[in-house]
């Protein structure tokens, strides 16, 4: 293993007063087999002896998950891990060990950015093996997220974050990015995720958000096109995209009724966006550049899936 091995309890642990464990973190720790994730992350260091972390890669990955669950910056994560025994337990650190510093966490996140989608895929592979991903349908949608940088003007990108763009509807323009997801209909687990500048149209990510093994695909009028309908037919996936009227060709009563029925199905994706913004406080990007914010966004999706898994398991 790259970095320090997971230590046994030290002398300080033996004399420390018992603390209340965090059952949520303990359950998550035992829900996932971390070894496949470890192998993927360690492969990034196999040909590079420089810049190797002084901590096991799984411990660092758990640190960036804690950041998402508790809304922590890199310095705040360092302080919280150093202070909270439940966090140290989750990372596998004993009381005598120093927490990873904010620079180590920051560098680690940059290191895993190229494979972060692979890590989401691996987590989902394990959740699918537990029969939690049901594949009845995929709900596709996107949400805007404000950039960390302030825009220079309405027409020019910000110097601090040249990847961010203006996007959204005319009455709700935001400068930042757009998070796209493909959500499993019944489990509400995120199967696919991508982050783009806010000015990219939602429909350009539609095919990338479809896994190919679902029975149906649902999306709002922004995704309506003959190309998407034809492509879904080729994939043997039922078309659940809302009908979109055109000038001189209003929707029929039947089409409006179908849209109401489809909307009742696809509205569950709003639960996810609401959870991100209310519980995870994901209303504004924390970093500058698309690659860093994309990594953080997909870590957010992994963190959400792990928490969602506990709810699904407790319901059975």
Domains and CATH numbers, the chain: 11-117 (no CATH), 135-289 (3.30.420)
Identity of the highest mean pLDDT range in 183-192, 237-246, 278-287: 183-192
Give tens-digit pLDDT for 162-211.
999 999 887 788 899 999 999 999 999 999 999 999 999 999 999 999 99
| Helix, strand, coil in percent for the chain, rounding step 5 | 50, 15, 40
Half-sphere exposure (Cβ direction) of 191: Cα atoms closer than 13 Å: 28
Compute the average pLDDT of residues 224-245: 96
Compute the average pLDDT of residues 147-157: 75
* 169 Cβ contact partners less than 8 Å away, ≥ 6 residues apart: none
How far CA 296 is from CA of 85, 132, 210, 213, 260, in Å, comes to 25, 24, 21, 27, 34
Q: Does residue 1 surpass a pLDDT of 70?
A: no
Q: Does residue 17 surpass a pLDDT of 60?
A: no
pLDDT of the residue at 201: 94
Of 36-45, 53-62, 146-155, 278-287, least confident by mean pLDDT is 146-155
CA-to-CA distance for 253 and 49, rounded, in angstroms? 66
Parallel, antiparallel or unpaired: strands 238-241 and 137-146: unpaired
Kindly report the pTM of this predicted structure.
0.90
In the block, residue with structure tokens 């990219």 = 200
Of 19-28, 119-128, 141-150, 292-301, least confident by mean pLDDT is 19-28
Contact yes or no for 195/120 (Cβ under 8 A): no
pLDDT band of 42, cuts 50, 70, 90: very high
User: 192-217 burial, b for 16+ CB within 10 Å, e for fewer?
Assistant: bbbbbbbebebbebbbebbbeebebb
pLDDT of the residue at 173: 87
pLDDT band of 316, cuts 50, 70, 90: low
pLDDT band of 269, cuts 50, 70, 90: very high
| Largest Cα span, the chain | 79
Higher pLDDT, 154 or 265: 265
Compute the average pLDDT of residues 71-92: 94
Q: What angle do CA 123, 176, 263 make, to 5 degrees?
A: 65
User: What percent of the chain has a predicted confidence (pLDDT) above 70?
Assistant: 89
pLDDT band of 14, cuts 50, 70, 90: very low
Residue 82: how many CB atoms within 10 A of its CB? 15
Over the chain, what is the mean pLDDT?
89
CA-to-CA distance for 279 and 255, rounded, in angstroms? 36
pLDDT band of 289, cuts 50, 70, 90: very high
Q: Does residue 121 surpass a pLDDT of 70?
A: yes
Of 2-6, 35-39, 50-54, 146-150, least confident by mean pLDDT is 2-6
pLDDT of the residue at 170: 75
CA-to-CA distance for 39 and 195, rounded, in angstroms? 25
């Amino acid at each position: 293993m790259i970095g320090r091995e997971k230590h046994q309890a030290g002398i300080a642990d033996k004399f420390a007063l018992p603390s209340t464990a965090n059952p949520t973190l303990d359950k998550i720790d035992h829900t996932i087999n971390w070894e496949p994730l470890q192998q993927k992350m360690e492969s990034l260091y196999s040909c590079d002896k420089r810049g190797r972390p002084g901590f096991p890669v799984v411990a660092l990955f758990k640190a960036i998950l804690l950041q998402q669950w508790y809304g922590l910056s890199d310095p705040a994560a360092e302080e919280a891990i150093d202070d909270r025994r439940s966090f140290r337990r989750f990372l596998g650190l004993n009381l005598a060990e120093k927490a990873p510093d904010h620079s180590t966490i920051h560098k680690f996140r940059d290191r895993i950015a190229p494979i972060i989608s692979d890590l989401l895929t691996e987590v989902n592979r394990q959740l699918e093996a537990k029969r939690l991903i049901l594949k009845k349908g995929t709900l596709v949608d996107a949400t805007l997220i404000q950039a960390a940088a302030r825009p220079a003007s309405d027409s020019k990108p910000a110097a601090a974050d040249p990847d961010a763009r203006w996007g959204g509807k005319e009455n709700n323009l935001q400068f930042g990015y757009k998070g796209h997801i493909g959500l499993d209909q019944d489990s509400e687990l995120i199967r696919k995720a991508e982050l783009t500048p806010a000015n990219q149209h939602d429909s350009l990510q539609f095919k990338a958000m479809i896994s190919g093994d679902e029975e149906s695909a649902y999306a709002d009028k922004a995704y309506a096109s003959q190309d998407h309908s034809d492509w879904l037919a080729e994939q043997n996936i039922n078309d659940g995209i809302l009908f979109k009227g055109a000038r001189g060709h209003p929707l029929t009563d039947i089409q409006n009724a179908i849209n109401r029925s489809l909307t009742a199905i696809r509205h569950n994706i709003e639960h996810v966006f609401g959870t991100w913004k209310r519980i995870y406080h994901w209303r504004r990007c924390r970093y500058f550049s698309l690659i860093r914010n994309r990594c953080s966004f997909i870590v957010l999706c992994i963190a959400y899936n792990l928490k969602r898994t506990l709810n699904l398991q407790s319901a059975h």
